[in-house]
Amino acid sequence: MNHGNKVNHLGRKKAHREALLSNLASQLITHKRIVTTLAKAKALRTYVEPLITKTKKSENKEEIMHQHRIVFSYLQDKAAVKELFTVVGPKIASRPGGYTRVLKLGIRPGDNAEKAMIELVDFNEIYGKGVEKAAEPAKKTRRGKVPKKAETAAAVEAPVAEAQVEATPTEEKAAE
């Protein structure tokens, strides 16, 4: 019986599984998204998210070097560690967690394995921009009026636009 098993062994021994996850994590950090099987993607998520959390900035220089060494012990790839701390780390600094996203892609024709794409959330501009735009529109009241906050924002933007239009002809006269 296999009660209480929280680790997906992926059909490999411990050393082989750690090497596999290390290589997948390095490729994910380098390329920002990879396509693999669903089981490997889910196992990779639990492997790489704590490593990304270690990149959050600290004031102490010794602690920063310590975090570099810890991450290097997992990844064994200097380029991936450098990319993680210089590119990925600053971009995820404000995010409290959930740095990766797993999207199912269907099945692989050869062996019927479920494929999935795992990606770093902050590096997908297409998906991220759509989410921000969906959250912006102001809600209307039951009577169909725009809330006061939206009215004041529109009133502030209108004079600024008019001021820019008026400034343009005066600049042309000054140039002549």
Cα gap 137→140, rounded to integer Å: 9
Closest C-alpha among 81, 129, 103, 95 to residue 33: 103
Which has more pLDDT, 134 or 9? 9
Cβ atoms of residues 77 and 31 within 8 Å = no
* Two structure tokens written together for 25: 């994590």
Q: What's the confidence (pLDDT) of residue 5?
A: 86
Is residue 80's pLDDT more than 60? Answer: yes
Cβ atoms of residues 84 and 71 within 8 Å = yes
Cα gap 90→55, rounded to integer Å: 8
DSSP code of residue 142: T
Tens-digit pLDDT profile for residues 84-126: 999 999 999 889 999 999 999 999 999 999 999 999 998 887 7
* Two structure tokens written together for 37: 């099987």
Q: What's the confidence (pLDDT) of residue 18?
A: 96
Tens-digit pLDDT profile for residues 125-176: 777 554 444 445 566 667 766 555 555 555 555 544 444 445 455 554 455 4
Q: With bands split at pLDDT 50, 70 and 90, how would you rate the model's confidence at 1?
A: confident
Cα 76 to chain centroid distance, Å, stands at 22
What the chain holds in terms of domains, given with CATH numbers, is: 14-124 (3.90.1030.10), 138-176 (no CATH)
Tens-digit pLDDT profile for residues 31-66: 999 999 999 999 999 999 999 999 988 788 899 999
* Two structure tokens written together for 122: 């902050």
